[in-house]
Amino acid sequence: MSIALAFLAQTLRIAVPYLFAAAGGVLAERSGIISLTLEGFMLGGAFSAMLGSYYSGNPWVGVLAGIAGGLVLGLVHAVATIRYKADQVVSGIAINLLAVGLTRYFLKLVFDSSSNSPRVAGFSAGTSTTALVAGLLHNPLIPLGLVALPVVAWLMYRTPFGLRVRAVGEHPEAAATVGVSVARVRYIAVALSGALAALGGAYLSLDQHQFTDGMSAGRGFIALAAIIFGRWDPMRAALACLFFAAAETLQIQLQAMQAIPSQFVQMIPYVLTIVALVGVVGRAVPPAALGRE
Amino acid sequence: HPAPPVPAASGNGLDIGIVFDVGGRGDKSFNDGAYRGGERAEHELGARVHFIEPGEGSDREAGLRLLAAEHMKLVIGVGFIFTDDLTALANEYPNTEFAGVDYALKLDSAGNVVPPPPNLAALKFREEQGSFLVGALAALVGKSKKLGFVGGMDIPLIHKFEAGYRAGVNYVCPDCTVIAQYAGVTPEAFRNPGRGKELALSQYQSGVNVIFHASGSTGLGVFEAARQTGTLAIGVDADQYSEAPGHVLTSMVKGVDAVVFDQIKKVRDGTFHGGVQEYGLAENGVGYIYDAHNRALIPDSVHARVEAIRAGIIAGRIAVPSTR
Amino acid sequence: MTDAGAAAPIVRMTGIAKRFGAVEAIRDAGLEVIPGEIHAIVGENGAGKSTLMRILAGLFPPDAGTVEVAGRDVTGWSASQAIAANVGMVHQHFMLVPPLTITENVILGREPRSGLAIDMARAQREVAEAAERSGFRMNVRACVRDLSVGEQQRVEILKTLVRGARILILDEPTAVLSPPEVQELWRVLRALRASGGTIILITHKLDEVTEISDTITVMRAGRSVARFPTASASAASIARAMVGRDVVLSNDATTRRSPISQTARAGLDVRHLVVAGELRARAVDDVSFSVARGEILGIAGVEGNGQSALIEAIVGLRRATSGEISIGDRDITALSVRERDALGLAHIPEDRHRRGLVLDFSIADNLILGRQREYDRHGTLDRARVLADARAAIERADIRPADPELPARALSGGNQQKIVIARALARETAVLVAAQPTRGVDVGAIEQIHARLRAARDAGTAILLVSAELSEVLALSDRVAVMYGGRIVAIVPRGEASEELLGPLMTGAA
Amino acid sequence: MSAASSPSALRGRVAEALLPPLVALLVSIVAGDLLILAVGQSPGAVYRLMLEGTWGNAYGFGQVLYKTTTLVCTGLAVAVGLRAGLFNIGAEGQLAAGGLGAALVGLALPAGTTALLAVPLCTVAALAGGGIVGYVPGVLRARWGAHEVITTIMLNFVVLAFLSWLLSGRLRVPETLHTNAIRAGALPRLSAWWAPFHGSASNASLIIVLAAAASTSWYLFHTSRGYELRAVGLQPDAAESGGVSVGKTWIRALTISGALAGLGGINFVLGYEHYYEEGFATGAGFLGIAVALVGRSNPFGVVLAALFFATLSQGGLAINALVPKQMVDALQGVVILAMAASVPEVRRLLTLRRGAK
Ligand SMILES: Nc1ncnc2c1ncn2[C@@H]1O[C@H](COP(=O)(O)OP(=O)(O)OP(=O)(O)O)[C@@H](O)[C@H]1O
Ligand SMILES: Nc1ncnc2c1ncn2[C@@H]1O[C@H](COP(=O)(O)OP(=O)(O)OP(=O)(O)O)[C@@H](O)[C@H]1O
Ligand SMILES: [Mg+2]
Ligand SMILES: [Mg+2]
């Protein structure tokens, strides 16, 4: 495989968890609920997907279990922020801590391990990575991840539900006056966001065939940055995800050259995020009702 | 005195305390090695072993202290991170024996080693020697001028693995290059298998056929990549063959289990003594796996060559660097 | 005109009560509306008008009482049920989603589908047809945020009509309209009435009530206190019913002293000012004028014609792209808010909730906002002095309740506005920029605020008054400027100014 | 007598302040019960063990105090940010930078420098180290509108990598992750004054940190700058109209916030190990958010909340014999969630009741 193709393939693979998480995040944020939760959703999804696959021996059951795990965490966030009007940032941070704590607790409980689950059935079993497409199709979650944001874009801009999501995120009172249930739209959006982000986590654990404590490793925050970078638009967020993944690929490739201290190479994606935030989207306007009741 | 999460030592039993490093049980390498050593001592020596997994920061010292206060016969800290806490506690509890796996020796201003307290055994592994051997092995088997290394957190302890590995590669193949990459600069770097896999895939794609990892759980991603691309990886600390059967060329094993068992046995036999104890190839403290599982992957000629190098190192004919 | 006694009421609300937390918004309010009439509801701020109408529109249930529509008991119904029963409401604060298109706003909640998706082509066709039927000209694909306020209101009305509204509730629809736009609205409402529709109209403007309505219900302090045919009422009698006492309805109560010569004491001077806005590069487009000390210059204009940008540039909240602003001989264009304040520039912000008050601060803390550093003593805020000064200000401005420790949030809008004004007028100022000083404030409070502004003017302050209420501009100003499309299109002395002259200017018609 | 200071209104305000933490405590106890029962243990026994290991003996309590010290700092950092309407999620990097600052000064001073000079210098260095890291997102927000939630998260990674690089040169003792021991500026352990604390890491930095909490409270509620900071947090547009520079206040708030987090570094560096070690700050930043929330962004509340979370954290070690200590990680999440949900709910119910009366 040529260098360019290898770069592209790696970028796409790295992007998949970001794309899933950003797809979920865009939905929730556009409905007015802040998505600081993506990291926790991913971790929970990774763990429950592993668990599903472990007990069934079938990775697709793992995928479903991952979705279920994400839905549950999403609903907890939704109940806290919508029903009980908890501060969304705070609830998000709590969800993240909760996901860390619960996955650790049950990892210990079920597998008597503080780090890793046993190996479970996953997706990337084959050997050939000679061709870009074949390599990417190995894991069915990769093509799914690549279409996640386009599907969300369609949902958002073409369907009644999407119109309501956008209305509710901009001006909930206006939506309420025409009989749209703000709470219901948000419940659905946040639950979906949990499920989608959890798929990103499921990708991580099923691709690795095991769960590792803390394996989401900050990817949820990068996905959130991608959403902001993409100005809350699904397609632009997708581009931002690819951009961040490319930065990471670049980081990996640059490290191999060993030209600069690895600490500085490690900074690249984060510094790029800040630069992007400052340069490109400094004044990006979030959905008007984001973070409000 | 601290409340006992650990039942008090009975006084006549062989009560042993082991405190794990971050990663804890289930890391499939280092801590698990210590755990196995402890378990074996329970079966074979009738020891009662109490394990503690601290969090970060002051919890490490607290864990050690808890065990010392409960009159364990021997308290073992697993990981260089325990060095200072062990030193302080050994001074404070002169009647308790202590042991530190990967204990980091201090140098005084003149550059001489400061000896640890007499009741503290500083257990040091010569990872660079084992790494040297797997480096040579990798270069001989690899059929490529490029060899790979994936480290976890970018810190001196891991540099030791890298340095030995490089030297080993270049010893048998002076014009080979080693691509060395690290997963990060925080402790998270030891538990990011997703990153490990991508690092490995990029190395394999650039023509590397064998990768040696020293990266904790991150390395599990390296094995995944080896499986997926049909290439080879080298495990670390413990025999990691089962992580990717057929794709684990060998593992650079650190005999943490044997050494832990050994120290417990010495305490039982009354032969325990403090001081620096180095475990290199000569002491069988480090080595590489060559058994029924991976024999097929390693030609006899290569095995013979590596064994010769091993002898050379033990005899002091081959010098192995421990820093980059 | 409909005879109130003849037809059975189409809307009958009795004994309605509603509280929000600790606030009792309405208690024992009632309403009876005859089919085919225009029914006005009037009352002071906070009387409970909007709340009563929201209950009728199904936005929330009443705590007590019954609601009947067309003879059916619908107490506690939902917004969608109300819509289904052809009750539509145009809210005081528009219920439009700015980034969505007109079509999307209109179809929200009842989207036509093809398969899973919205049938957008059909939606646009239907909305365009409906607009045409109502005599509205609009591009149904335009974003609502790009529309003028008047256009937005038409979208709001269209929203209700498309949903088949036969009972249309309008909450203060004219507050933001220019006189021609108001006439246009009356045309639409009359047409609706002619076709058998019923209209309930909330407004503060008594001349409008007398002009358009058939019947009037007056609310005071959460109760319905009077209901009479418009024909039998006068502006003064309505006002008396609203406030519970006599009110001076001042339009030309301006008792002017002899005008001071413009050059004698220079006040505010604005030269060729250009200011960028959120949407337009030249929200203020080459504006020049000056205000002498002891003079009130009123700027009339429909909202959204650059007044906000102008005010913000003058007080230092927004950078001027070019041009010059000075106080006396001092060029202040580059100075900060605080530095302008130090030179004697005071400001009554147009939006008290956003700019005027820290709602969670106490009255006392709000009264020192901007002066806080003056209360520092040895690095610590001198609380005793803060409170003493606050008590004095509360007394002077008649802020109720008179407790300096109460959070500003707990006060009614009128009393909140009194805090803002008390703070702006707390010391001698050379220049006062007063933006919408009586917005949403009831008749009694308006009286008092106008008096304070006149007193400041008489004490030698140069006042720039910006108001969407043409009547207010006419009542207070010595000279009147009209702003349209970011430009000052005319400045006329008070004597020559009239609604007939200014109205067309405000819409760019002249 | 004004309405606000009447006894019933006062009672209302006290209830509004105290009920949410109580509800959160109850909810987390129930959640904890479930987790404990899932392992087949008795909740009573586990909680007893937790209490015994923390408040039940001097050593355990000393450990609690040690953890409290750091958490007060990160909690104050988050609280000051919140008061200015900003979410500082970068306390971890700021704490680490503060620690390194203190260590660098401690290393640079000649051995034997009097503590009267060395401790203040090291402390100022800790404040400065954290303050600089806090200043950056402040400027990014004020000048370019870059949202601080994202920039502080990103800066955590950048700062930790940068500190690691600084250390990777000559600073690091070979084979370890830490610097040499500081030559001056060490603080005494509390056990020097009260023997039963023997062995616990708690040290005199607790006193400095409590003084910082008191100063923060004074700053926020009794100075004009604090007034401006709170005004900006509650209603930035109104503050701006009042002549307060919102951008400057943001920068100031985040700098103070960072400095307070950095101050926490003295606990480990000056008080405990006497060197800077990579990773000593892990987790304390995120927990600081919890502390600030449960403490209602009030410095004194922060101290109490820090004590609570320190107890939980130390308790985890104690209960490990019966249930996995990972339980407390989950409980922290539950406490924050319950707290976040019960604050508005309690307010709502209280106003409902007040209305009904
Ligand atoms: N959602 C709400 N929460 C709390 N209080 C409210 C709410 N809505 C209205 N109120 C209060 O109820 C009272 C009546 O308000 P309402 O909006 O009905 O008055 P109004 O007559 O429409 O006044 P205005 O002329 O200013 O529009 C006021 O004191 C108001 O502050
Ligand atoms: N609103 C005010 N009223 C009175 N004096 C003030 C006010 N604001 C600032 N001052 C005083 O003016 C002087 C200069 O203010 P300056 O703006 O330089 O202060 P600063 O420390 O930079 O604070 P800031 O960051 O708010 O600008 C100071 O002595 C200050 O106390
Ligand atoms: Mg109203
Ligand atoms: Mg200044």
Interface size, chain A vs chain C, as Cβ–Cβ contacts under 8 Å: 69
Greatest mean pLDDT range, B116-125, C225-234, C279-288, C302-311? B116-125
pLDDT attached to residue B3: 43
Give me the mean pLDDT over the D281-302 stretch: 90
Do C286 and C422 lie in a common domain? yes
Nearest CA to ligand 1 atom 4: C20
Give pLDDT tens digits for A222-255.
898 889 888 899 999 999 999 999 988 988 888 8
**Site to substitute for ligand 2 among C338, C371, C377, most atoms within 8 A of C-beta:** C338
- Report the separation in Å between the CA atom of B218 and the middle of ligand 3, taken as the mean of its atom positions: 62
- DSSP secondary structure letters along C423-483: HHTSS--SEEEEESTTTT--HHHHHHHHHHHHHHHHTT-EEEEE-S-HHHHHHH-SEEEEE
Cα separation, A116 vs A210, in Å, equals: 7
Q: Say yes or no: C332 and C365 in one domain.
A: yes
What is the ipTM, given to two decimal places? 0.85
Give the minimum alpha-carbon distance from D145 to chain A in angstroms, rounded to a whole number: 5
Are residues C196 and C314 both part of a single domain? no
Q: Is the pLDDT at A148 greater than 90, yes or no?
A: yes
Q: Taking a contact as any Cβ pair under 8 Å apart, which residues of chain D between 191 and 250 contact chain C?
A: 218, 222-224, 227-228, 230-231, 234-235, 237-245
Containing A109, the helix (H) or strand (E) segment is: helix A88-111
Q: Which residues contact D271 (CB under 8 A, 6 or more apart)?
A: D66, D69, D186, D187, D189, D201, D202, D203, D204, D205, D206
Put simply, the answer to whether C78 touches A179 (Cβ < 8 Å) is yes
Query: Does residue C257 share a domain with residue C239?
Result: no
Is chain B in touch with chain A: ≥3 Cβ pairs within 8 A?
yes
- What's the gap in Å between C52 CA and the centre of ligand 3? 9
| Most informative mutation of C337, C341, C369, C373 for ligand 2 (most atoms within 8 A of CB) | C373
Whether D254 shows a pLDDT value over 60: the answer reads: yes
Residues C236 and C272 in one domain: no
Are both C192 and C295 inside the same structural domain? no
Q: How far is A34 from chain C (nearest CA, A)?
A: 19
pLDDT at C2: 43
Q: Across the interface, do C355 and D244 touch by the CB < 8 Å criterion?
A: no
* Cβ contact B82:B20 at 8 Å: no
Print pLDDT tens along chain B (324 aa): 444 455 555 556 889 999 998 778 888 878 899 999 999 999 999 999 999 888 767 788 888 998 998 889 999 999 888 998 999 999 999 999 999 999 988 877 777 888 899 999 999 999 999 999 999 999 999 889 999 999 998 888 899 999 999 999 999 999 999 999 999 888 788 888 999 999 999 999 889 999 999 998 899 999 999 998 889 999 999 899 999 999 999 999 999 999 999 999 999 999 999 999 999 999 989 999 999 999 999 999 999 999 999 999 999 999 999 887
Instruction: Flag whether C5 is in a domain.
Output: no
pLDDT tens digits, one per residue of C244-289: 766 554 444 444 444 444 444 578 999 999 998 876 778 899 999 9
Chain A residue numbers touching B180 (CB-CB < 8 A): 258
pTM of the complete model: 0.88
* Assigned domain for C248 exists: no
- Distance from the CA of C93 to the center of ligand 3, in angstroms? 9
Judge contact between D68 and B57, C-beta under 8 A: no
C45 lines ligand 1 (CB under 6 A): yes
Q: Per-residue pLDDT tens for C473-492? A: 999 999 999 998 889 999 99
CA C92 to ligand 1 center in whole angstroms: 11
Q: Is C339 in the pocket of ligand 2 (CB under 6 A)?
A: no
Q: Which fold has domain A2-278?
A: ABC transporter involved in vitamin B12 uptake, BtuC (1.10.3470)
Residue C206 clears pLDDT 80, i.e. is over it: no
C-beta separation of A243 from A12 below 8 A: no
* pLDDT for res C509: 62
User: What share of chain A in percent tops pLDDT 70?
Assistant: 93
Which ligand sits nearest to residue D248's alpha carbon?
Answer: 2
Considering only residues A95 and C21, tell me which one the structure prediction assigns the higher pLDDT: A95
Of D322, D332, D321, D290, the residue nearest D75 (C-alpha): D290
Final residue belonging to a domain, choices C243, C271, C294: C243
Note whether C296 and C402 are same-domain residues.
Answer: yes
Structure confidence at residue D1 (pLDDT)? 36
Enter the DSSP assignment of D318: H
Identify which of D160, D199, D316 has the shortest CB distance to residue B65.
D199
Centre of ligand 4 to C-alpha D248, Å, is 8
Looking at every residue in chain D, the average pLDDT score rounds to: 90
- Specify if C4 maps to a domain: no
Rounded Cα distance between D69 and B220, Å, is 38
Range of the domain at C358: 253-507
Q: Is the pLDDT of residue D172 over 60?
A: yes
- Which of C50, C169, C223, when mutated, tests ligand 1's pocket best, judged by the most ligand atoms within 8 Å of its CB? C50
Instruction: Pick from A83, A270, A281, A285 the residue to mutate for testing the D interface (most D CBs within 10 Å).
Output: A270
**What is the arithmetic mean of pLDDT over D48-60?**
90
C215, C243, C271 - which closes a domain = C243
What pLDDT sits at residue A211?
96
Domain boundaries along the sequence of chain D: 71-306
Q: Which of C243, C262, C293 is the last residue of a domain?
A: C243
Is the pLDDT at D7 greater than 80, yes or no? no
Tokens coding A162: 């999407």
Give the mean model confidence (pLDDT) for residues D241-270.
97
Question: Do residue A167 and residue C96 have CB atoms under 8 angstroms apart?
Answer: no
- Please tell me whether residues C208 and C174 are part of one structural domain: yes
AA letter at A18: Y
Residue C465 and residue C413 share a domain: yes
Q: Compute the distance between CA of residue D348 and CA of residue A293 in angstroms, rounded to an integer.
A: 14
Q: How far is A172 from chain B (nearest CA, A)?
A: 40
The Cα–Cα gap between D311 and D64 comes to 6
- b/e map B203-227, b = 16+ CB within 10 Å: bbbeebbbbbbbbbbbbbbbbbbbb
Give residue B1's pLDDT: 41
Angle at D203 between CA D201 and CA D207, to 5 degrees: 145
Higher pLDDT pick, C137 / C372: C372
Taking an 8 Å cut-off on Cβ atoms, the answer to whether A267 and D158 are in contact is yes
- pLDDT tens digits, one per residue of C403-430: 999 899 888 777 889 999 999 988 888 9
What atom in ligand 2 is closest to the CA of residue C370? 1
pLDDT surpasses 60 at D3: no
pLDDT beyond 90 at A200: yes
Distance CA B60, CA B77 (A): 9
Residue C25 Cβ < 6 Å to ligand 1:
yes
Q: How far apart are CA B101 and CA C213, in angstroms?
A: 92
Range from C158-167, C174-183, C458-467 carrying the lowest mean pLDDT: C174-183
Question: Is the Cβ–Cβ distance between B23 and A114 less than 8 Å?
Answer: yes
> Mean pLDDT of all residues in chain C?
87
pLDDT at D354: 67
pLDDT of residue B9: 57
Q: Whose CA is nearest to atom 5 of ligand 1?
A: C20
